[in-house]
């Protein structure tokens, strides 16, 4: 079922870019998929054209588009040699084309009163805070009020805001591509946070290992910490494929794989077999609901779970014995 289609796709910037590269490089790209494949095969050409087509404002041009496009990590250097002001580029188009139209809208959490700023007002606010912070100094690890202004200011001064960097876990989203329609489906947040013995990691790390077993159809991992527990323990629930058997041998193989591919701290305290895994109507795995059941808490938004009846099976695991790590020096 088609959910939405652009009424005039030929009028989009993306299609204008497709026609541009076709004309310049004598190509015959007819759709997004072919344009995407060209970007993969001709990384240097594609991103050089993106730089020019998007009208980047700069004081020094790049020597090339990317230092090494053969791998995603270690992260290659993009547009080496280029000098530009990121904030100037963010504001440039809006100020040039519609300075009196709304640029950003903000509302306090749980609030109802909205605050709007036009492009011209945003430029003035950014300049005002830039002047104030430049004179007073900026510190790190602070809670940011009016973050949208600060973001523009910090970016304008060459600083950066980090939400992900090497060796620090972060949330991600699972995404799948339909081989027939070529469309993409975003399933939502890929994992929750587990914290056994003070060691934090994401459930997606465990799912990645467990999904490699042919016997496993699906799995869900949650943290269990009841009022009487000193530490959280990880429970891994496994749904086997039709015809496969969950036994001690399979459990041992899963434990060994997690220990070897991840670490001993990632190994769940209990690996248990279930008949089904709960999902929302939109196809998201419901870790929170399972965690609530095994900690004897009330499950929120049961109506959003497409197969809520399967949660009944998890109730018997609320009384599992606690397994905690012993700290060692």
Instruction: Note the pLDDT tens digit of each residue in 90-110.
Output: 999 999 999 999 999 988 766
Could you give the CA distance from residue 201 to residue 263 in angstroms, rounded to a whole number?
Answer: 11
Which of 73-77, 200-204, 265-269, 319-323 shows the lowest per-residue confidence on average (mean pLDDT)? 73-77
Could you give the CA distance from residue 42 to residue 49 in angstroms, rounded to a whole number?
Answer: 11
Q: What is the mean pLDDT of residues 304-322?
A: 95
Between 38 and 151, residue with greater pLDDT: 38
Q: What is the mean pLDDT of residues 279-291?
A: 90
Residues paired with 102 in a beta bridge? 118
Concatenated DSSP letters of 253-312: HHHHHHHHHT-GGGS-SEEEE-S---BBTTS-B-HHHHHHHHTT-PPS-GGGBTTGGGGG
Share in percent of the chain as helix, strand, coil (round to 5): 40, 15, 45
At residue 173, φ and ψ (nearest 5 deg) are -115, 140
Pair 52, 102 in one domain: no
Pair 79, 95 in one domain: no
DSSP 66: B
Residue 151 lies in a domain: yes
Q: What is the mean pLDDT of residues 149-174?
A: 61
Residue 52 lies in a domain: yes
Q: What is the mean pLDDT of residues 53-68?
A: 95
Q: What is the mean pLDDT of residues 138-147?
A: 50
Residue 329 lies in a domain: no
Residue 180 lies in a domain: no
pLDDT per position as a tens digit, 267-284: 999 999 999 999 988 788
Residue 170 lies in a domain: no
Write out the residue range of the structural domain in which residue 215 sits.
191-319
Pair 13, 109 in one domain: no
Pair 116, 61 in one domain: no
Pair 277, 305 in one domain: yes
Could you give the CA distance from residue 144 to residue 141 in angstroms, rounded to a whole number?
Answer: 9
Which value, in Å, is the radius of gyration of the alpha carbons in the chain? Answer: 26
Residue with tokens 């790190």, as numbered in its chain: 140
What is the pLDDT, as a whole number, of residue 257?
Answer: 97
Pair 78, 121 in one domain: no
Number of structural domains in the chain: 3
What is the pLDDT, as a whole number, of residue 329?
Answer: 35
Residue 183 lies in a domain: no
Please state at what angle helix 32-41 crosses helix 43-53, rounded to 10 degrees. 120
Pair 58, 115 in one domain: no
Which of 7-11, 161-165, 209-213 shows the lowest per-residue confidence on average (mean pLDDT)? 161-165
pTM for the whole thing? 0.54
| Residues 74 and 86 sit within 8 Å (Cβ to Cβ) | no
E runs forming strands in the chain: 102-107, 114-118, 173-177, 184-189, 193-194, 201-202, 216-224, 233-240, 270-273
Could you give the CA distance from residue 234 to residue 177 in angstroms, rounded to a whole number?
Answer: 31
Pair 36, 150 in one domain: no
Q: Is the dihedral of CA 68, 70, 75, 78 positive or negative?
A: positive
pLDDT per position as a tens digit, 198-207: 788 889 899 9
């Amino acid at each position: 079922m088609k959910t939405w289609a652009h009424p005039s796709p030929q009028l989009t910037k993306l299609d204008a870019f497709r026609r541009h590269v076709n004309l310049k490089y004598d190509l015959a790209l007819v759709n997004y998929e072919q344009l995407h494949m060209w970007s993969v095969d001709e990384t240097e050409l594609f991103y050089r054209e993106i730089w020019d087509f998007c009208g980047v404002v700069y004081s020094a041009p790049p020597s090339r588009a990317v230092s090494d496009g053969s791998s995603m990590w270690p992260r290659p250097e993009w547009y080496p040699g280029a000098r530009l002001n990121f904030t100037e580029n963010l504001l440039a188009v809006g100020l040039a084309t519609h300075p009196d139209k709304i640029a950003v809208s903000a509302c306090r959490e749980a609030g109802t009163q909205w605050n709007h700023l036009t492009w011209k007002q945003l430029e003035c606010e950014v300049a005002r805070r830039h002047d104030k912070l430049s004179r007073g100094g900026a510190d790190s690890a602070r809670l940011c009020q009016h973050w949208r202004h600060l973001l523009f200011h910090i970016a304008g001064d060459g600083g950066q805001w980090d939400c992900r960097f090497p060796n620090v876990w972060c949330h991600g989203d699972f995404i799948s591509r339909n081989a027939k329609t070529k469309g993409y489906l975003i399933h939502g947040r890929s994992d929750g946070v587990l914290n056994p013995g003070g060691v934090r990691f994401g459930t997606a790390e465990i799912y990645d290992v467990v999904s490699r077993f042919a016997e496993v159809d699906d799995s869900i991992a949650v943290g269990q910490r009841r009022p009487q527990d000193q530490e959280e323990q990880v429970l891994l629930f496994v749904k086997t494929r039709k015809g496969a058997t969950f036994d001690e041998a399979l459990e041992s193989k899963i434990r060994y794989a997690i220990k070897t591919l991840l670490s001993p701290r990632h190994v769940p305290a209990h690996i248990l077999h279930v008949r089904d895994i709960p999902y929302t109507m939109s196809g998201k795995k419901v870790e929170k609901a399972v965690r609530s059941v095994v900690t004897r808490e009330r499950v929120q938004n049961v109506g959003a779970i497409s197969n809520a009846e399967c949660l009944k099976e998890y109730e018997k695991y609320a009384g599992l014995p606690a397994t905690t790590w012993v700290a060692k020096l």
